[in-house]
Structure 1
Amino acid sequence: MVRDPFADDEAPDLQEVLDALDDPDCRAIVSALEEPMTASEISEESDIPLSTTYRKLDRLEEAQLLFEGTEIRPDGQHASIYEVDFEEVVIALTEERDFETEIARQPRTPDQRLESLWSEVRKET
């Protein structure tokens, strides 16, 4: 099923966020992503093997800390590009004494929203 890229995301799972931020490779990837990059560019910039980079990108996406878009290329060989999708991660204790995770983000541009929709469609085909 295709995720609605225009809907607000649910709050991320606390453990997924903590695991991603605790992982040195994930932190290196976030540090390297000053601008949108492909997985191979991230691998080269962060000096992490490509196979490991893909696993870490998945971990960061599951924690809702990365945005995956699509770079449209004239030759038809489109590529996934990744960029940091948070400004701040807040972990709070609710009145019910439960932990709550909130991620502060910049609003997505129309282009990013279209990229997200395209990425979700590509995953399903």
Structure 2
Amino acid sequence: MSAEPGDVRAAVERTARAVMTGNLAQVMADLAPEAMAQLMQLASGAQGLSPAQLPSIDGFEVEEVSSSAEEARYRVRFRSSMGSVTVATTWRPMVGQWKVVEIGLAGFELAEGGGPPPER
């Protein structure tokens, strides 16, 4: 796989689809080591509302924030019946493919009548 800037959106969408379908192997393959700890913090943040804790993610939206040959920033909004969670990601080419090097919570929104986030 090349690390051309045009390939980064495909990588972002592949990873978002993997989160939505629960394909943890793909998610882990797309994370650089430094993003792993950030992902663990994200899973326990947002007052219990994170992509890992959303019931049945039914869709996602990808928004490019900035992109160059060295780095790309994207926001991904995951939707479910309970609400939505937006994560901010920074991607860099590593060993011939784009990988997440930074990930953090950019926002969350409970659906009307969605109730409190589930306890984990």
TM-score range, shorter chain: under 0.3
TM-score by length of 2: 0.26
Which protein has the larger Cα radius of gyration, Structure 1 or Structure 2? 1
Q: If each structure's helix is expressed as a fraction of its own residues, which one has the higher value?
A: 1
TM-score by length of 1: 0.26
